[in-house]
Structures are given as C-alpha cells and as structure tokens.
Amino acid sequence: MSVKKCRFLGGALLPFCIILVLVGSMGLAFAADDTHDEPGAHDEHHHGGVSGEKLPIWSIAPFVGILLSIAIIPVVWDSHFLHHHGGKMAAAWALVFAIPYLIAFRGGAFYDILHIYLIDYIPFIVLLWGLFTVAGGVLVRGTLRGTPLVNTLLLFIGTAIASWVGTTGASMLLIRPLIRANAYRKSKVHLIVFFIFLVSNIGGALTPLGDPPLFLGFLHGVPFFWTTTVLFPHMLFISVLLIALFFALDTIMFKREGGEVPDDGTREPIRVEGLFNLIFLFGIVVAVLMSGTVKLGEVNVLGVHVAWQNILRDVLIVAMGLLSLKFTPFSGELRQANEFSWAPIEEVAKVFAGIFMTIIPALAILKAGENGALGGLNRMMQESWHYFWVTGVLSSFLDNAPTYLTFFNTALGKLHLTEDLVPQILTGQLAEPQHLEFVKLLTAISVGAVFMGANTYIGNAPNFMVKAIAEDSHIPMPSFFGFMLWSVGILMPLFVIVTFVFLR
C-alpha cells in the first residue's frame, strides 16, 4: 500500500472511529444506567466483571467491525494489508470498544479487559509462540516431491500427531516441508486449505494438548483421555473422508498439470535435523500438563485471580522457546533453511489482541444465557446436535476456547449440575439420565468447537499462521470469504453427515 493510500485510509477512518467512540460511550452509559446499580457498584467488587444481561446486542459491533476489516480490506484495498497494518487496524477497533466500555462500566469493564488478557490472551499467545519457535528449529531435508501420494502422507502424519504436539506444533512442523515439496506445482491453494482443515484443526480432537478448547475442558475437570476415547470415532470418520477427498482432488490437479515430477538430478535422502528441539517440545507438553494437574494457589492481580501453576507454565514455555533459539539460533543455518521468520506469529499476536478485546461483550452475552440479548438462542438449544452446530458456528468466528467453555457451563446449568461432578460423570461413576445427557452434550460441544474452527481463518490461531506462511512463500491464498467458500462447500456437508451418524 502506498503512503498516499495509507494517509487516505487513516484520514477516512479517524473521524469514523471518533464518532463510534462517542456514540458507543453514550449508548453504553445509558445501558449501564438502565441497570439501576448504585453509584460505584462497578468499582466495589471487580471479580464478577460486567454482566452480559446489561449489554445490548449492538455492543458486539466493534467485534463485527474487526472481522469485516479482516475479511474485506485485503480484498478491496491491499492483499498485504494485515501483514503491514493489521496491528493498527486491531488497535483501532479495540479502542473503539474499550473506551466506551470503560466510561460506561468503569471498574467492571477494567476487570473484564484485564481478565481476558491475563487469563486468555497472554497464555494463548505464549503457547503459540513457544510451539512456533521450537517447531521452527526442526528441518526436514531431502528430495521430497509433492505427488498426490506424498502430499496425502504428509497430511495423514500431521493429522495423526496434532493431538499430541498441538495443532500449532504439527502445523509449524509440516507446513514448510509441504510447501517445499510442491514448489514445482502450479495449483497449491488446495494443499494449504486441506492442511488447515486436517492438521490445524480436526487432528487436534483427541487430547487437551491438541486444541485450546479441550485444554480448557481439562482444566475444568474433563479427564485427560476422555476426548481420546469419546471423540476418536468422530475424528476418524471425518478425517478418512477428508483425506480420501484430498487424494482424489490432488490427483486430478496433478494430472491436469501433466502428471510428471520434474527431475532436477537431486536424490538427497529424507532426514530430519534439529531433532533435539523435540526435547523442548516435550518440555512444553509437560508444562501444559502440569498446569492442569498441580494446584499452587493464586495471586491477585488488580482483582483478577491468576493461578501460580499457570504463571509457571507460561514461564516454562518461554524458557523452552529461548533454549530452542539458543541451540538453533534465528540467524543459524537450520532456521534459514526452514525460511523461519517472526512475521506469522507477529501478525497473529497483533490481530488477535484486537479480537480478544472486542470479543468481550459477545462472550458476556452468551454467558448470560436466557437473560442475555441472545436468550432466544439459548432457549432453542435442546438437543445435542443443537449444541454441536451453535458451538461450532460461533467457534468459527469467536475464539473457540471461550466459546467451548461458555456452552460447557450452559450444559451444566441446563441439567442443574455442578462442575465438581464432571470427573465422576465422565468416568461413569454417575450414570443418572441427566449425567448421561451431559456426556452427550459435552461430546457435541467438543466436536463443534474443534471441527468448526476450520471454517474460517480466525476459527483457530494456526489457520492464520499457516495462511501467513503460505503467503510468505508466494502462494496466493483465498480471501476471508474465499476460504469460507472452501469450508462451506467441503466441510459443511461432512458436518451434516457427522450430525446424522453420531449426534442424533
């Protein structure tokens, strides 16, 4: 984007943002006044934040705005907009929400903002940074040619390991080898799209290490291997269908391009270098497991209670990343050969910082259940497949981890159960009808949150990182809505089949 265009865009957006801030401040102030709280009520006890019952549906407008900015501006203005100006865009929308929210709700709003960054965003980005950094030190060398069979094998391996090293770890380990293997291919977009479907999302369905929603479930009493046993049929079913579909599509594309692999005279055997980074990857896994099993107490940070084991987890993850950088430095041969750069993780960190800020009212309204602005939606949810689709569709656009947790609590409330009963229910120690119903609902919620994170670039953080890496490698990825054409055309029919096979 030229300097002239940037100035024009900034000049056009600034008055618009100021108007939104002023209107939002007045509107939210009226909403706050309508609750008839005593003066200073929001400041006296911060630990509850702002109730979703007090928020109008239009309070999610900044969240919708940031999503539309991600979707539209790169298409109509500059395809590299997010790479160069994503942080500014995210900060603008974050301020459009935060300033009116703080003016209207004061201490309660401050608590909500601090809570989502301390409890959700910082651990989220620390884990992504750790996996991204460590995986970037592992290099697959050798003559790897992107035939349909080789590409299918890479997707299969990525899907198989994603639950054990995380969807981020698996994505970072295999996306660059996949791109290098297919450097000679003309049609590459479908490779990245199916990689996002399988490796960056669906493959993470079997353990709390695989995907953040399941990790949150683990922290709230879901046994570690419950997802392995319960979700394996769903994951196997849809993975087999997707891998078979990919093989057929890639075979057609390969034959259209001539069906021959160019011979450049190289016959270098396949080998993996930097394997000592697996020690650091294992360290990250241990840190994550520790935070879900060890209780070390809490520290109060301006009203937000942060568990010491979570602080220790984040410190250990950072330490693993730094050790990886020490032994495979950024300027070293391994990372250079891997075309490693900080650009993808920087882009994710900046854009998701704005998303996490603006997502606050959406999550609060959902948590308010039938008393919130989306109460009608909660009243409509009766069957397990309702939970699958509502959790899944919302996870496509909201962060799938808090969306999972919201409906986890919704299911408990619907059945008049408490969180302390979850381990006994899921291990079969309690088997009354309401307990069996909770198992069905939690299965649907888990499948929806993990699988439908593949529907958009922002449904799961690895999606965005894989897209950024592909674009750095000069692969013209689809726009936000262009990617959704792929997901709607391929994934949605499969999700309908999953509904009838497993969730009716």
SS3 sequence, 153-185? HHHHHHHHHHHHHHHHHHHHHHHHHHHHHCCCC
Measured CA to CA, the distance from residue 199 to residue 342 in angstroms comes to 21
Q: What is the predicted pLDDT for the residue at 266? A: 67
Which run of H or E residues covers position 271? strand 271-273
Measured CA to CA, the distance from residue 324 to residue 357 in angstroms comes to 31
Q: Are 120 and 402 in contact (CB under 8 A)?
A: yes
Q: How confident is the model at residue 73 (pLDDT cuts 50, 70, 90)?
A: confident
Q: Which of 64-73, 157-166, 228-237 has the lowest mean pLDDT?
A: 64-73
State the alpha helices, DSSP H only, in 306-453: 308-327, 333-337, 343-358, 360-367, 375-380, 384-397, 400-414, 422-426, 433-451
The residues near 405 (Cβ < 8 Å, ≥ 6 apart) are: 213, 216, 217, 220
Tell me the average pLDDT across 125-145: 83
Please name the amino acid found at residue 154. Answer: L
State the average pLDDT for the chain.
83
Measured CA to CA, the distance from residue 421 to residue 415 in angstroms comes to 12
String of DSSP letters for 351-372: HHHHHHHHTHHHHHHHHTGGGS
Measured CA to CA, the distance from residue 141 to residue 376 in angstroms comes to 55
Q: What is the pLDDT of residues 360-413, one digit of tens each?
A: 888 788 777 777 777 777 777 888 899 999 999 988 887 677 778 778 878 887
Q: What is the predicted pLDDT for the residue at 7? A: 43
Helix axes 461-472, 343-358, angle to 10 degrees: 140
Q: What is the predicted pLDDT for the residue at 46? A: 41
Q: What is the pLDDT of residues 186-218, one digit of tens each?
A: 889 999 999 999 999 999 999 888 888 898 788
pTM above 0.85, yes or no: no
In 10 A of CB 404, how many CB atoms?
29
pLDDT value at 424 more than 80: yes
pLDDT value at 80 more than 70: no
The residues near 97 (Cβ < 8 Å, ≥ 6 apart) are: 24, 59, 62, 63, 357, 358, 360, 361
Tell me the average pLDDT across 77-98: 80
- For the chain, what is the radius of gyration of the CA atoms? 23
pLDDT value at 27 more than 90: no
In 10 A of CB 4, how many CB atoms?
8
Q: How confident is the model at residue 322 (pLDDT cuts 50, 70, 90)?
A: very high
Q: How confident is the model at residue 35 (pLDDT cuts 50, 70, 90)?
A: very low
Map residue 205 onto helix, strand or coil.
Answer: coil
State both tokens at 91.
């900060």
Q: Could you tell me how far CA 446 lies from the centroid of its own chain? A: 14
Please name the amino acid found at residue 158. Answer: G
Q: What is the pLDDT of residues 246-258, one digit of tens each?
A: 999 999 999 998 8
pLDDT value at 172 more than 80: yes
Select the highest-mean-pLDDT range: 133-147, 395-409, 478-492: 478-492
Could you state, in order of their start, the residue ranges of all structural domains in the chain?
1-31+55-105, 128-343
First vs last C-alpha separation in the chain? 50
